[in-house]
């Protein structure tokens, strides 16, 4: 299966495209909530099943972002 999520523009800049990551969010003061959307292929295990990992709800973190970035790096290196 070919994924077209990593694009190169006319100036040879890398552009990431995955509108599955678009979510509706409510940012009020220090509170931030978001819908549980995203590209399941690159979502960390704790985002798929928060309760299994001792979390009360779906919540993106720096760690889950690093997981997704590592998936991106793996795809770039192996294709």
Q: How many domains does the chain have?
A: 1
- Residue 42 is assigned to a structural domain of this protein: yes
The answer to whether the pTM exceeds 0.75 is: no
From CA 78, how far away is CA 69, in angstroms rounded?
Answer: 14
Give me the helices (H) in the chain, please: 45-48, 62-78
* Dist. CA 21–CA 17, nearest whole Å: 9
Structure tokens at 68: 């997704």
Question: Does the residue 27 lie in any domain?
Answer: no
**Does residue 71 have a pLDDT over 70?**
yes
Give me the domain span that covers residue 47. 36-79
Reported as a single tens digit per residue, the pLDDT across 18-57 is 655 455 444 444 444 445 666 777 788 998 899 998 988 8
In a domain, 22, yes or no: no
């Amino acid at each position: 299966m070919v994924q077209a999520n990593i694009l190169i523009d006319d100036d040879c800049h890398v552009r990431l495209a995955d509108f599955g990551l678009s979510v509706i969010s409510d940012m009020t003061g220090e509170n931030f909530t978001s819908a549980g959307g995203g590209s399941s292929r690159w979502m960390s295990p704790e985002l798929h099943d928060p309760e299994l990992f001792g979390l009360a709800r779906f919540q993106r973190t720096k760690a889950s972002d690093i997981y997704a970035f590592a998936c991106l790096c793996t795809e770039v290196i192996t294709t």
